């Protein structure tokens, strides 16, 4: 990775020339919509880039020397202000390589909680808006992006992943594919993170063991299973016993071991998580091993629980955390 920075900055004779190069390569920032704003990019409530703490991780942390880290910090400080209470992704450098099209970005978290980006769907488009490549990146292994912090990251679109390879001189832009909202019929059968067989199994389990009581709303942990990279997968049933559709926006999950000690305490933010009247849905939450507070976890001895759901205005139900220091994870 160092050669990329050397290729970019190596021939520059002054910081002013570096600054010009940064702004020349800079792309438009796009936002993940965690603030709830319909058009966050139009918000004037912004945070100066220098107020965010730049964190290196993964290959960035291990392969960059002090001079290159200083250049990355300088480039970061030259970024435009980021929308407050949002997670923004701003591409600052692109490179055509033998393997594919590489985009370097800063992921900027201007919220007061950590966020874990699990699946990030991105596309490459031409200036005319033609989509030439689409790819979903799995970021769980990268761990959460801390509150009020920024992280450099690379996204590689390999040539065999392109629908059409444009001419080399045609510039490409990185864009975010916002997940489609599911209609009422789709929403009822849409159970995230589970196969069709698993979905049927857990829906049946939720219905048989604990039928929905009229007038009650609750969330129940149905199962704890091994997850990816030694993490956990917690299966949760959302149960709506009211005569109207509810939307759940936040889910804190606390995992304890046999001794009652906290193994993990995470906070998920959901988008478009609706449960129809007098029905239930199941959802799988991935908890990465990087969130564990203890080592040598025995899954058979773990239990998980969720603080009581509280109904909010506008017919939304939010799970209100009842413990301190909950850190947010974005699903």
User: What is the DSSP annotation of 252-287?
Assistant: EEEEE-TTS-EEEEEEEEEEEEEE-TTEEEEEEEEE
Q: Does position 329 have pLDDT exceeding 60, yes or no?
A: no
CB atoms within 10 A of CB 83: 21
- More confident: 132 or 67: 132
- Provide the pLDDT for residue 105: 92
Q: Does position 283 have pLDDT exceeding 60, yes or no?
A: yes
Q: Does position 34 have pLDDT exceeding 70, yes or no?
A: yes
Distance of CA 146 to the CA centre of its chain: 12
- More confident: 144 or 300: 300
Over the stretch 79-130, which tens digit does the pLDDT of each residue have? 899 999 899 999 988 888 889 999 989 999 998 887 877 778 899 998 888 8
**Rounded mean pLDDT of the chain?**
77
Over the stretch 162-176, which tens digit does the pLDDT of each residue have? 999 888 777 888 988
Over the stretch 218-272, which tens digit does the pLDDT of each residue have? 888 999 988 877 888 899 888 888 888 888 878 889 999 988 899 988 887 776 6
Q: Does position 327 have pLDDT exceeding 60, yes or no?
A: no
Is the Cβ–Cβ distance between 114 and 290 less than 8 Å? no
- Poorest-pLDDT segment among 52-61, 178-187, 270-279, 315-324: 315-324
Mean predicted confidence (pLDDT) in 17-26? 66
Q: What is the pLDDT confidence band of residue 46, given thresholds at 50, 70 and 90?
A: very high
CA geometry: angle 248, 250, 254, nearest 5 deg: 125
Alpha-carbon distance of 204 to 191, in angstroms, equals 13
- Provide the pLDDT for residue 2: 41
Q: What is the pLDDT confidence band of residue 3, given thresholds at 50, 70 and 90?
A: very low
Mean predicted confidence (pLDDT) in 292-310? 81
- Provide the pLDDT for residue 10: 52
- Poorest-pLDDT segment among 92-96, 131-135, 179-183: 179-183
- More confident: 331 or 238: 238
- More confident: 33 or 152: 152
Q: What is the pLDDT confidence band of residue 157, given thresholds at 50, 70 and 90?
A: very high
Alpha-carbon distance of 131 to 174, in angstroms, equals 10
- Provide the pLDDT for residue 129: 83
SS3 138: strand
How distant, in Å, are the alpha carbons of 58, 130, 200, 215 from that of 210? 44, 50, 15, 14
Mean predicted confidence (pLDDT) in 10-32? 67
């Amino acid at each position: 990775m160092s050669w990329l920075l050397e290729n970019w900055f190596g021939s520059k004779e002054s910081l002013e020339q570096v600054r010009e190069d940064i702004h020349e390569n800079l792309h438009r920032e796009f936002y993940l919509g965690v603030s709830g704003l319909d058009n966050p990019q139009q918000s004037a409530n912004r945070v100066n880039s220098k107020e965010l703490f730049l964190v290196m991780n993964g290959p960035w942390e291990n392969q960059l020397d002090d001079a290159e880290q200083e250049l990355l910090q300088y480039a970061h400080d030259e970024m435009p202000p980021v929308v407050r209470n949002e997670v923004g992704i701003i591409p600052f450098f692109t490179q055509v390589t033998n393997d594919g099209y590489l985009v370097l970005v800063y992921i900027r978290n201007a919220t007061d909680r950590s966020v874990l980006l699990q699946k990030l769907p991105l596309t490459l488009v031409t200036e005319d808006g033609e989509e030439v490549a689409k790819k979903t990146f799995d970021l769980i292994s990268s761990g959460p992006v801390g509150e009020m912090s920024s992280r450099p990251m690379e996204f590689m679109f390999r040539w065999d992943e392109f629908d059409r390879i444009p001419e080399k001189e045609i510039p490409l832009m990185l864009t975010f594919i916002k997940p489609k909202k599911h209609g009422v019929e789709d929403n009822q059968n849409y159970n995230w993170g589970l196969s069709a067989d698993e979905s049927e199994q857990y829906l049946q389990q939720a219905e048989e063991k604990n039928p929905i009581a009229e007038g009650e709303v609750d969330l129940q942990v149905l199962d704890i299973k091994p997850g990816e990279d030694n993490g956990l997968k917690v299966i949760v049933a959302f149960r709506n016993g009211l005569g109207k559709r509810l939307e759940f926006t936040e889910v804190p999950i606390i995992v304890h071991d046999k001794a009652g000690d906290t193994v993990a305490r995470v906070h998920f933010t959901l988008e478009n998580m609706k449960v129809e009247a007098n029905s239930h849905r199941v959802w799988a939450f991935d908890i990465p091993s990087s969130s564990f507070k203890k080592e040598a976890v025995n899954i058979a001895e773990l239990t998980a629980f969720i603080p009581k759901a509280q109904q909010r205005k506008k017919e939304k139900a939010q799970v209100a955390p009842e413990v301190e220091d909950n850190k947010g994870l974005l699903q």
